[in-house]
Amino acid sequence: MLNRSCIRWPGVFFACAVWLVIPVFGFPKNPADEHVQLELISEQNAVVPGKELWFGIRIDLQDGWHTYWTNPGDSGEAARIDWHLPAGYEAGAIQWPYPERLSTPPFADYGYQHQVLLMVPVRPPAGLKEGQTQKIGALVRYLVCREVCIPGRKELELSLPVQTHAASESRELFEATRSRLPRPVPPSWRISATSRGDEFLLNLRIGKLDKEPEFFPLEAEQIENAAPQEATAIPGGIRLHLKKSKHLLKPASRLKGVIVISPGGGYLLDVPVLQSGRDYTQTRH
Amino acid sequence: MNRNLIHGLMVTLLLISSAYAVKVGEPAPDFQATDSNGQMHKLSSEHGKFVVLEWHNNGCPYTRKHYESGNMQRLQKDWTSKGVVWFTVISSAPGQQGYVTAQQENEYLKQMNASPTAALLDPQGEVGRLYSAKTTPHMFIINPAGVLIYDGAIDDKATTEQADIAGAKNYVSQALEEAAAGKPVGMPTSRPYGCSVKYAH
């Protein structure tokens, strides 16, 4: 009720925001906390010296709310993580599961509803001693939106012992998320892209499909995010018609993105764009 | 008869084509809108001047970043003092975040010490949809010849954090400086960042 009026009446937004930070009646500190929960989790229950392990930021969203993919689409912003790791640790990049298209015509965003795990591989140093406790910290900055958007900022922490062996703890969630990470395209696939007029033709010679695939661009402002991706049949596969972004002033040399097929999952594409109408096919090496 | 008919057709065609292609390098489509003081503004009446369009929603955290820091007001002041016309455009529909009455907007401008040339009220989203304004903020620049020369973000730091403004490259100032010096705009488009414009459904 309070929050609704805060959102509906921007005039009182500031007053509400100030009021909300006063911790009375157990009100959370950040307005975003009401709609999203974040937790830092580890796939393993211990750190093994020198052995890569996976951490994840689990984001649980209230119904109707969403957060964003690495390319957020027409609006929004992807989450960022600043790691606070003990000396000698190396953290990799966020492994983004493929998103869903969040359509609010005339726009479309790319993101996640309900729950997402942002997985990051981390390598601890080899010289750790058994029995030490490792304190892992992460500052996550994120945006959650419904009709309105609320930025959030959360400090998360986790302690793990150093052991010579580790057991899996949150394996199911990590495995489920891995199945949504884009994979390299299979060697048998032949994929090409052509620029024709105001569209890119993405030719996917990948055999028969039960359902039309969906393309998610990794680079902003290459295609019109909200435009329908029309699919037509070509020998050995399917062609997606992707409308060029009006912000694309120079010819795009490559199309990078994730193609999601069902069943199958997400595949990472990075193909050169042929500027003429000739159909050039790139095979994977 | 023929001349008038042909002229009318050409104008219609121009309007149609422009409505489908607000594109950098092409003529910016004309529009008219009423400001928060009840005054009517027409883009084509500003021919001969640079015009900046700033899409606005006072509840959006990205808009608030640039207003609560004073960044947007500074830009408005700097550029209007150099003869640039600055229109803040509010396309939030009634009941949506950022929708304001004329009086509320005038109070906001005063409270924020903001000084655009005018704050245009576009609750039906006509100007917003004509320009395909996606986010708040989303910035457009039209040159004195009426050609769109910039369409995109306010700067290169797509965050809600005020601390990022100091180190950001402001695309609007950069484009205006280049264009005013007779140079081509080096970065004529970018991904606008912010909240989606809250159009009527």
- Pairing type for strands A214-217 and A254-261 reads antiparallel
- Which residue of chain B comes nearest to A103, CA vs CA? B196
Spell out the per-residue pLDDT of chain A, length 285, in tens: 334 444 444 444 444 444 444 444 444 568 888 899 999 999 999 999 999 999 999 999 999 999 999 999 999 999 999 999 999 999 999 999 999 999 988 899 999 999 999 999 999 999 999 999 999 999 999 999 998 999 999 999 999 999 999 998 788 999 999 999 999 999 999 999 999 999 999 999 998 888 899 999 999 999 999 999 999 999 999 999 999 998 888 889 999 999 999 888 999 999 999 986 544 444 444
Mean pLDDT of B71-100: 98
- Which residue of chain B comes nearest to A226, CA vs CA? B134
**Cα A176 from chain centroid (whole Å):** 14
Residue A30: its pLDDT value, please? 81
Three-state secondary structure along chain A? CHHHHHHHCHHHHHHHHHHHCCCCCCCCCCHHHHCEEEEEEECECCECCCCCEEEEEEEEECCCCEEEEEEEECCCCECEEEEECCCCCEECCCECCCCEEEEECCEEEEEEECEEEEEEEEECCCCCCCCCEEEEEEEEEEEEECCCEEEEEEEEEEEEEECCCCCECCHHHHHHHHCCCCEECCCCCEEEEEEECCEEEEEEECCCCCCCCEEEECCCCCECCCCCCEEEEECCEEEEEEEECCCCCCCCCEEEEEEEECCCEEEEEEEEEECCCCCCCEECC
In B21-158, which ranges are continuous DSSP H helix?
61-68, 71-80, 102-112, 126-130
Q: Is 50 exceeded by the pLDDT of residue B10?
A: no
B contact set with A (CB within 8 A): 21-25, 57-62, 95-100, 104, 129, 132, 134-135, 151-152, 158-161, 188-191, 193-196, 198-199
Domains in chain B with CATH codes: 23-196 (3.40.30.10)
Residue A276: its pLDDT value, please? 67
Burial of A251 from C-beta contacts in 10 A (0-12 / 13-18 / 19+): exposed
CA-nearest of A138, A106, A111, A109 to A122 is A138
Instruction: Point out the residue among A76, A148, A247 whose CB comes nearest to the CB of B151.
Output: A247
> What SS3 class is residue B121?
strand
Phi, psi (degrees; rounded to nearest 5) at A48 = -105, 125
Residue A9: its pLDDT value, please? 46
Residue A208: its pLDDT value, please? 82
Residue B17: its pLDDT value, please? 39
The CA distance from B3 to the nearest CA of chain A, in Å, is 33
Q: Is 90 exceeded by the pLDDT of residue B86?
A: yes
CA A221 – CA B121 distance, rounded (Å): 28
CA A45 – CA A56 distance, rounded (Å): 13
Domains in chain A with CATH codes: 1-31 (no CATH), 35-178 (2.60.40.1250), 183-283 (2.60.40)
Burial of A14 from C-beta contacts in 10 A (0-12 / 13-18 / 19+): middle
> What SS3 class is residue B73?
helix
Contact B191 A247 (CB under 8 A): yes
Query: pLDDT digit string (tens) for B183-192?
Result: 999 999 999 9
CA-nearest of A173, A129, A164, A132 to A40 is A173
Residue B21: its pLDDT value, please? 59
Mean pLDDT of B50-62: 98
Instruction: Point out the residue among B59, B62, B129 whose CB comes nearest to the CB of A10.
Output: B59
CA A111 – CA A93 distance, rounded (Å): 18
What is the pTM (predicted TM-score) of this model?
Answer: 0.86
Q: Is 80 exceeded by the pLDDT of residue B12?
A: no
Contact residues, chain B, for A7 at CB < 8 Å:
59, 97
The CA distance from A246 to the nearest CA of chain B, in Å, is 6
Residue A204: its pLDDT value, please? 96
Contact B195 A109 (CB under 8 A): no
